[in-house]
Structure 1
Amino acid sequence: MPSSKGSKVFAEAMDRYGWQSLHQKLQGGKPKDIQKIFSKLKYRICKLMFHQSSSFVVQKLFEVCDEEQMDQLVFSVTADPALLMSACLDPQGAECMKKFLECIRASEQISHMIRFFSHFSVPLANDQFGSLPLLVAIGRNISIIAVSESGSYLLRAIISKDRPEGFILMWIMMHASHLSTEPFGNYVLRHVIGLEIPCLIEEIVAKWSGVFHGLSMNKYGSKVVKKLMKASKRKYAPQIINDIISSPKFSTVLVDPFGYSVLQTAMKCSKGTVRKRLHDLIRQHSELLNRK
């Protein structure tokens, strides 16, 4: 807990002029000075974020802390969720949190912060200042976020048709093939497909031309293919279905449990000559189904 000496350093950090002394010591980079200031301020980090003078000290402290000290700060700043949320929604506090997120490095630290943000993603994303640290966290760590359970939830919560974040969607589209076969990444991709943004669906369908049969036999990829057909019934579903039934491995797709599920969805999403061709092919291979 904070000591009386800690209170003195805290007051110095808050002082209009005293903060400069602390800032200079941190800038000097002497481990002894850094540790002394760190030990006095680590429990009060969030409170210091709200004030202009002390925020300079806090941001410099983030820059000079080693990994072990940052570990302690990660748990310190998230110890009081209400206080941290208030800091993120404050102009000065948001800048400090942005700096903090830029300075954390260890994967455990990143994961801990992402789990925290996943619980408050909507109010943060919809706030002028709160969205700043949130997007920094995502931008720096999106490759980790997109394939984790809490990160997947976070991305889905902040990406909407009315407010698609360009750089996030760009990254998702670049890594769509990888995300489609990930246990949590596929949820992110299906969410983006569900927005039914024409140019994104067109890009995915074009990118996956010739590989839909393989994705259809993957536990997670099959869910993405089904979502894609449902979201593009009129325009791209026929193209996807034709890609699958034209494959020399169609019979393999038919007897695969995930592939068969995709073909069932294909029947519901198709009509006319495409549906008839699919239906006829399934009948031609009916003996294979009877062996299942």
Structure 2
Amino acid sequence: MQGRSIKPDDCSLHEGIRENGRRLGSYTPLPMAPSLTSLNEFRGYVYLLAQDQNGCLFLQKIFEEGTSQDIELIFDEIINHIVELMLNPFGNYVVQKLLDVCDEKHRLLIVRMVTNEPGMLVRVCLNTYGTRVVQRLIETLTTRQQISSVILALKPGVLDLVKDQNGNHVIQRCLNLLSNEDNKFIFDAATKFCVEIATHRHGCCVMQRCIAHASGKHWDKLMTAISRNGLLLAQDPFGNYVVQCIMDLKNPCSIAILLSQFKGNYEHLSMQKFGSHVVEKCLRHFEESRSQIVLELLSVPHFEQLLQDPFANYVIQCALAVTKGVLHSSLVEAVRPHSTLRTSPYCKRIFSRNLLKK
């Protein structure tokens, strides 16, 4: 039997098929892809072909080499099962390819099928296979009606999407391809749930994309929300990257808010794994804040603890490297009396470099 083409009248393909083309049970996968000219022989069974590894490849080839009538036949047979195919390991590739070749009438029907039930499109986005198709769908949207329908369907689940390992890629694709105003629902959520999103593994990446793509009032509101939560975010494993992203932009208003948040907290931040990176960045990039930071650190009751701290010692090294004149001299005078600590695992890094000779 090996090597023969399977036709619709073979029991292996018919097994478990209802009259309407739905599966009742498992069926044997096609052992080999049918020839290009045999599509008509599979009328009524295209939905099953799309879920089979060989059948999936066969249908994709039809999309590339077949006629418009072939595309119409495939579309007619799978459109009522489009959501199920989006979630299928093989069917999702068929739908992606269909989106590449279909006309506007077909694309609009696909959009309607995936958006007519509340929450359906969001569930597809959260799926490992579905997220690929929705990203491709967003790439191929061309009309105002299509875009509006997709946005309205995604909006209620935007927070879940942002924080999901699959869904966040759909949101990022929207940010990359849709207009500033179309992405308003994302910017609004990022502003409203700023801390929740910025402190999430996937959310922090989306937040940085929002900062990069937002403009006008959306950007202003987002920057303000993040800056006002700067102290909290700076101490978070993911939020600190969002804060550093804002610092890199050097927007005067945002920086002023951030620095006001950090004032009086530099010792605390310096002794934290993530906060110490933010303090180092402040020292390197904001000359106007250096005196404030150094004087706060010099005023702590036990300065030597900072020298021996696994994180704060890097802050002290950074401060010695970027300061000059009186400020640098003050730091050196505070460090030298503790030279007996030069063998300490962390403190020795300060004494082993030429920072004190500057």
Q: CA deviation at 1:158?
A: 3.8
Question: Which residue pairs with 1:62 in the alignment?
Answer: 118
| Aligned CA distance change for structure 1 residues 162 and 49 (closer, same or farther; 3 Å) | same
Aligned residues with identical type, % of pairs = 21
Structure 1, unpaired ranges of 5+: 8-38
Residue 101 in structure 1 maps to residue 157 in structure 2: no
272-281 vs 89-98, greater mean Cα deviation: 89-98
CA distance in 2, matches of 1:58, 1:274: 63
Q: Are 1:255 and 2:303 matched, yes or no?
A: no
- Structure 2 CA distance for partners of 1:260 and 1:212, relative to 1, 3 Å: same
* Residue in 1 that maps onto 2:350: none
Would the aligned equivalents of 1:55 and 1:96 in 2 still touch at CA under 8 Å? yes
Distance across 1 between alignment mates of 2:225 and 2:82 = 37
Matched with 2:324 is: 271
Which TM-score applies when normalising by structure 2? 0.58
Question: CA offset at residue 291 of structure 1?
Answer: 3.8
What do residues 165-202 of structure 1 show as CA deviations (whole Å, max 9, x unaligned)? 12221221122122112222111111101111222222
Structure 1 residues 258 and 206, CA gap change in structure 2 (3 angstroms): same
1:50: how far off? 6.1
Shift in CA distance, 200/110, structure 1 to aligned 2, threshold 3 Å: closer
Q: Equivalent residue of 1:104, what SS?
A: helix
Out of 161, 169, 186, which is 2:240 matched to?
186
1:1-292 matches, cutoff 5 A? 42=83, 51=108, 61-62=117-118, 71-72=123-124, 74-75=126-127, 78-80=131-133, 81-87=135-141, 90-104=143-157, 107=160, 110-111=163-164, 112-118=166-172, 120=173, 123-124=176-177, 127-128=179-180, 131-132=183-184, 134-135=186-187, 138-139=190-191, 141-160=193-212, 163=215, 165-233=219-287, 235-292=288-345
Deviates more, 1:196-205 or 1:186-195: 196-205
Amino acid at match of 2:314: S
Give 3-state SS (helix, strand or coil) of 1:247's partner: coil
In the alignment, residue 318 of structure 2 is paired with which amino acid?
T
The structural deviation recorded for 1:154 is: 2.6
- Letter in structure 1 aligned against 2:206: L
- On the 8 A contact 2:271/2:311 being kept in 1, the answer is yes
Change (3 A) 1:130 1:108: closer
DSSP-derived class of the 1:93 partner: helix
The Cα shift of 1:121 comes to: 6.3
**Greater relative contact order structure (CA < 8 Å, 6+ sep):** 1
User: Is the 2:158–2:189 Cα contact (8 Å) retained in structure 1?
Assistant: no
Distance in 2 of aligned mates of 1:180 and 1:226: 12
Q: Which residue of 1 aligns with 2:75?
A: none
Residue type of the alignment partner of 2:299: S
Letter in 2 for 1:284: P
Would you say how many aligned residue pairs link Structure 1 and Structure 2?
A: 250
**Does the residue aligned with 1:213 lie in a helix, a strand or coil?**
helix
- Structure 1 CA distance for aligned equivalents of residues 213 and 328 of structure 2: 31
Distance 1:131 1:70 in 2: 16
Once the two structures are TM-superposed, the CA of residue 207 in structure 1 deviates from its matched residue by 1.8
Q: Kindly report the root-mean-square deviation, in angstroms, between the aligned alpha carbons of the 2 structures.
A: 3.8
Question: Structure 1: how far apart are the matches of 2:199 and 2:143?
Answer: 30
Distance 1:185 1:128, change over 3 A: closer
